[in-house]
C-alpha cells in the first residue's frame, strides 16, 4: 500500500529540497499523466491551463476532460544506487511516457519526482540531435543538453568517437546516418556524460549485434560503479540478465513489482492471456473460428475442433504441466469408410510446424468408421510447449482413396501459460540436467 502525496502543483525536484535516504537516487511518488486524443481540444486545454497558471488559479489535475485519458496513474517506486530497474509492459502501457517524465520532458499532472545527481537518457532515436548538423556538432549539442560543459565534451570527444564507431561519417550531416549509426552516436554521448541515473528506452533494439553486446557490457560495468540504470526494452532476455528488479506496467498502472525472473514470467503470462483472449478472425466456416478447406464429398461433414480439458470442456488455454487434448468432431453420412487422421501444432506466426503426428496403423488403427457422428481426441501428456500462442492443425482423409475430406488450418488459437516462474526461450520447453566435468587433463 502506498501513501498518497498529492499536491496542488505536481513537481520534479532535486534532492536538496527533500531528504532522500542515502541509497536512493530517484523517488517517484503517485505520478499520473493524462493526454488528450483530440489535437484541437488538446491545444485548447493547453491555452486554458496556461491562462489559469498566469492568474494563479488552482487547477484540478485529477479531473479528466472530454477526450482525455490517463497514460499513467498513481506510479510509485524508488531507484537505488547501483540498481538496474527494468520497466516492461505491452505497447501503450505507459513505459515511454514514464521515462519522459523522469527525464524532464513532460511534467506530471499529479504526484512528485525527486532525484539526486545528474540524469542522462537515450529515450528516442535521434532525440537531442539535429539532422542538418554534423556528427561532431551533434556531440556538442547533445552533450550540452545532457548537462556537460564544453570542456568536458572536449576531454571526452575521442572516447565518444571511438565508442560510436562512426568513422568517416563524423563530419557528415546526421541526415546521412543510418538508424544504427544514430543510436551508436547518441548512446556514446549519453554514457560519456557519466550520469548518476541512466535512462534507456528500447533504442538498443536498432543497433547491430556487436554494438549491442558492447553496450550491454558497458551497462553492467556502469551499474557496478554504484550508478543507477532504468531500462525499458521488449527484449525480455536483456531485461532478465541486466535488471535485478522489474516493474510491469499495464494500462498506465503498476501491475507487478519484484525480481527480474518473476517479473518477466508475470509479463509473459499476462501477454499470453491477453493475446489468447483476442477474438479469432472470421475467415471461414464453423462460426468463423477457423479456415476450413473442404474437398467436395457427399459422405463427410466436419463439425468442430479445438482443445478440451480432462473434463471434456472446450478450452482456449492450458498450463505447461497440463496434458494437451486436441479434438475433432465430424460426421460420416452414408458409407462406412477407413479414415486417416493428422494433428499438429503451429507457432503464432503460422510459419513453423512445432510437431505433426498421424494415426499410423501401428499406433491407432480405428478400422472402418460407420455412418454417424464421431469425435477424435488426441492426448499428448507431455507436450513440451513453452508459454505462448499456438494454432492446432487437424487433417482428415479417406485412407483408401487418399481423398482429403477436410483440413483445418490456423484460425483458432490456444495459449500455453507458465507453470510457476518459467521463462520462455523458444517454442518448446524441456527439462534438462547440466553437468560440468572439471580438470579432465589432456591439455598438453
| pLDDT tens-digit readout, 14-55 | 554 456 888 899 999 999 999 888 888 888 877 887 777 777
For residue 209, which phi and psi values (nearest 5 degrees)? Answer: -60, -45
List the grid coordinates of 180.
Answer: 544504427
- What domains lie within the chain, and their CATH numbers? 11-117+196-275 (3.40.50.300), 291-417 (2.70.50.60)
Enclosing H/E stretch for 258? strand 253-259
Which pLDDT score, from 0 to 100, does residue 5 have?
35
By the 8 A CB rule, do 195 and 120 touch?
yes
Provide the edge-to-edge strand list for the sheet that holds 300-308.
314-315, 300-308, 324-332, 372-380
By the 8 A CB rule, do 243 and 233 touch?
no
Per DSSP, the three-state class of 267 is helix
Enclosing H/E stretch for 406? strand 404-409
Which pLDDT score, from 0 to 100, does residue 3 have?
31
* DSSP per-residue string spanning 105-135: SS--SEEEEEE-S-EEEE-STTTT--TTSBH
* DSSP per-residue string spanning 198-246: EEEESGGGTS-HHHHHHHHHHHHHHHHTT-EEEEE-S-HHHHHHH-SEE
Model confidence pLDDT, tens digit, residues 382-393: 888 988 889 888
Question: How would residue 397 be classed by pLDDT, with cut points 50, 70 and 90?
Answer: confident
By the 8 A CB rule, do 234 and 90 touch?
no
Q: How many CB atoms lie under 10 A from the CB of residue 53?
A: 11
Q: What is the mean pLDDT of residues 406-425?
A: 72
> What is the Cα–Cα distance from 40 to 45, expressed in whole angstroms?
9
Task: For residue 221, list its beta bridge partners.
Answer: none
Highest mean pLDDT among 171-175, 305-309, 427-431: 171-175
* Of residues 211 and 6, more confidently modeled: 211
Burial class (CB in 10 A: 0-12, 13-18, 19+), 402: exposed
Q: What is the mean pLDDT of residues 143-149?
A: 86
List the grid coordinates of 383.
Answer: 507436450
Which pLDDT score, from 0 to 100, does residue 406 have?
61
Q: Would you report the helix, strand and coil content of the chain in percent, each value rounded to 5?
A: 25, 35, 40
* pLDDT value at 436 more than 70: yes
Which pLDDT score, from 0 to 100, does residue 250 have?
94
Which pLDDT score, from 0 to 100, does residue 18 have?
53
Between the alpha carbon of residue 436 and those of residues 75, 333, 433, 440, 441, the distances in Å are: 45, 61, 10, 10, 14
Which pLDDT score, from 0 to 100, does residue 46 have?
77
* Of residues 177 and 210, more confidently modeled: 177
The DSSP call for residue 104 is T
In 3D, which of 180, 174, 101 has the Cα closest to residue 136? 174
Amino acid at each position: 500500500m502506498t501513501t498518497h502525496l498529492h499536491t496542488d502543483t505536481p513537481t520534479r525536484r532535486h534532492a536538496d529540497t527533500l531528504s532522500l535516504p542515502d541509497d536512493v537516487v530517484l523517488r517517484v511518488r503517485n505520478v499520473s499523466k493524462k493526454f488528450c486524443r483530440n489535437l484541437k481540444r488538446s491545444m485548447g486545454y493547453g491555452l486554458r491551463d496556461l491562462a489559469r497558471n498566469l492568474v494563479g488559479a488552482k487547477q484540478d489535475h485529477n479531473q479528466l476532460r472530454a477526450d482525455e485519458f490517463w497514460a499513467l496513474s498513481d506510479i510509485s517506486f524508488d531507484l537505488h544506487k547501483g540498481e538496474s530497474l527494468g520497466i516492461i509492459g505491452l505497447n501503450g502501457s505507459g513505459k515511454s511516457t514514464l521515462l519522459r517524465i523522469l527525464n524532464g520532458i513532460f511534467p506530471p499532472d499529479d504526484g512528485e519526482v525527486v532525484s539526486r545527481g545528474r540524469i542522462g537518457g537515450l529515450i528516442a532515436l535521434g532525440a537531442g540531435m539535429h539532422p542538418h548538423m554534423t556528427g561532431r556538432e551533434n556531440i556538442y549539442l547533445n552533450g550540452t543538453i545532457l548537462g556537460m560543459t564544453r570542456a568536458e565534451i572536449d576531454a571526452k570527444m575521442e572516447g565518444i568517437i571511438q565508442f560510436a564507431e562512426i568513422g568517416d561519417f563524423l563530419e557528415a550531416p546526421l541526415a546521412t546516418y543510418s538508424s544504427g549509426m544514430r543510436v551508436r552516436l547518441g548512446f556514446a554521448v549519453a554514457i560519456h556524460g557519466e550520469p548518476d541515473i541512466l535512462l534507456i528506452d528500447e533504442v538498443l533494439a536498432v543497433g547491430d549485434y556487436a554494438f549491442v553486446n558492447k553496450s550491454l557490457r558497458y551497462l553492467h560495468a556502469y551499474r557496478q560503479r554504484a550508478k543507477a540504470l532504468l531500462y525499458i526494452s521488449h527484449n525480455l532476455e536483456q531485461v532478465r540478465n541486466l535488471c535485478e528488479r522489474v516493474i510491469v506496467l499495464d494500462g498506465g498502472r503498476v501491475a507487478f513489482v519484484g525480481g527480474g525472473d518473476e517479473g518477466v514470467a508475470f509479463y509473459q503470462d499476462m501477454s499470453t492471456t491477453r493475446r489468447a483472449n483476442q477474438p479469432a478472425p472470421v475467415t471461414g466456416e464453423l462460426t468463423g473460428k477457423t479456415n476450413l478447406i473442404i474437398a467436395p464429398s457427399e459422405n463427410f461433414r466436419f463439425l468442430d475442433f479445438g482443445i478440451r480439458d480432462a473434463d471434456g470442456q472446450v478450452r482456449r488455454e492450458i498450463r505447461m504441466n497440463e496434458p494437451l487434448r486436441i479434438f475433432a468432431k465430424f460426421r460420416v453420412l452414408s458409407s462406412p469408410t477407413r479414415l486417416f487422421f493428422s494433428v499438429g501444432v503451429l507457432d503464432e506466426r503460422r510459419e513453423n510446424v512445432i510437431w505433426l503426428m498421424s494415426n499410423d496403423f501401428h499406433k491407432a488403427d480405428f478400422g472402418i468408421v460407420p455412418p454417424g457422428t464421431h469425435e477424435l481426441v488426441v492426448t499428448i501428456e507431455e507436450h513440451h510447449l513453452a508459454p505462448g500462442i499456438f494454432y492446432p492443425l487437424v487433417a482428415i482423409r479417406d485412407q483408401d482413396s487418399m481423398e482429403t475430406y477436410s483440413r483445418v488450418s490456423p484460425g483458432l488459437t490456444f495459449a500455453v501459460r507458465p507453470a510457476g516462474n518459467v521463462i520462455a526461450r523458444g517454442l518448446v520447453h524441456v527439462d534438462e540436467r547440466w553437468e560440468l566435468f572439471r580438470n579432465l587433463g589432456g591439455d598438453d
